[in-house]
Amino acid sequence: MVSSHIADIRFDGDVERVRSWASNLEENTMQQALTSARCPAVSGPIALMPDAHWGMGATVGSVIPTESAIIPAAVGVDIGCGMIAVETDLDASHLPDNLGPILRGIGKVIPAGFNRHYKAQKTAIDWLAANPLETDLELKSNATSKMAPQLGTLGGGNHFVEVSIDERDKVWAVLHSGSRGIGNILAQQHIGTARQLCQDLERSLEDRDLAYFLDTDPGFNAYIKDMLWAQDYALENREQMMNALLGVLNDTVGRPVKELRRINCHHNYTERETHDDRELWITRKGAIRADVGDMGVIPGSMGTNSYIVSGLGNAASYRSAAHGAGRAYGRKAAKRAFDVASFEAAMEGRMWQKSKAAELLDESPMAYKDITQVMSDQADLVTIEHELNAVVNYKGTK
């Protein structure tokens, strides 16, 4: 086992339940993780990442092992949400002094918030033709009709697009998004089915959001099939937006931008992996895979830096790492606690949607944990390859 610097290990009796890397962890978050760890579907200690915070059912920033079962709400409703980053051949000197046209250009080619392309893009139509959704669920027509128009769109909340500069003055394109409306719809229906199944079969649960399918249940394979499809949709969604973002940079510098490398990683997903000679489903809800050599993207908030990392393969964390800064305040609490003036001060030096500051207040950097502390807490999980400072930030607004 790779040596680890676990901040806290919690036991129930003689049973190890939770391993936490978080130096800043709310007690309700630990209690939720302990509740999740006691779920009959869970097959070993839960690993809490340094950005862990309370979530629906399972804690955001948790890695959950199951052997012959799956917990749909642990994967979450934004199936396949994750990060993509491209290192370009541009230096900071290639960017214009006025970054406003880049921000406006992103807004033109990447619909955000509740928006979607008015007409589905050819790339979306082609991808869906090659990767049709073959679900056993009965979906309403308005659910499937959005799949193509939303493929290549950002969404809202903490999803974002950034142009960043690393410590070598190299320019990176970065964005965060997931499986949009269709992923949410698939997840919600399967979560509901799991809840009903556990109720009908009188399976004991401390939290109904920990409802699960055993691999002998009819719903198990149906969920796995839809979940894997939604993960692929999310990955493709990021690919298409990244291509559009690089197009904006092409137009800005007046030549084709060369792509040096591309990193595209999920942080809300599950996959079958081998750990300690056991075949397990490893569900990462707000965590990235960090096996030896795995490249990952770990963002801070919209006013702090992000990181390109390589995994160290720490077995104690199921070869995982944090997915970002993690919220310190809920959205309503953030809007009560902070004001526009302090938000604008925190965003000084970046090109962003300043006119939308009041609307974006719940995404203020002060609403998130300290990303530098998060990275320090997980020094045994990942190695920092590059630190990215965003000079342009674009988010979904109403």
Active-site residue 266, yes or no?
A: no
Nearest Cα neighbor of 22 from 56, 54, 64 is 54
Nearest Cα neighbor of 340 from 324, 309, 363 is 363
CB 307 within 8 A of CB 384: yes
Nearest Cα neighbor of 25 from 383, 372, 307, 370 is 370
- Which residues lie below 8 Å from residue 343, measured CB to CB, with a gap of 6+? 357, 360, 361, 364, 365, 366
Nearest Cα neighbor of 315 from 4, 77, 1, 6 is 1
Give the H/E segment covering residue 302: none
- 53, 190, 323, 386: which is the annotated catalytic residue? 323
Nearest Cα neighbor of 73 from 82, 64, 85, 84 is 64
Q: How many CB atoms lie within 10 A of CB 93?
A: 7
Nearest Cα neighbor of 190 from 213, 168, 207 is 213
Q: Could you identify the residue written with the tokens 């609490």?
A: 333
Distance of alpha carbon 117 from alpha carbon 350, whole angstroms: 27
CB 160 within 8 A of CB 210: no
Q: Would you please indicate which residues are annotated as catalytic (active-site) residues?
A: 323
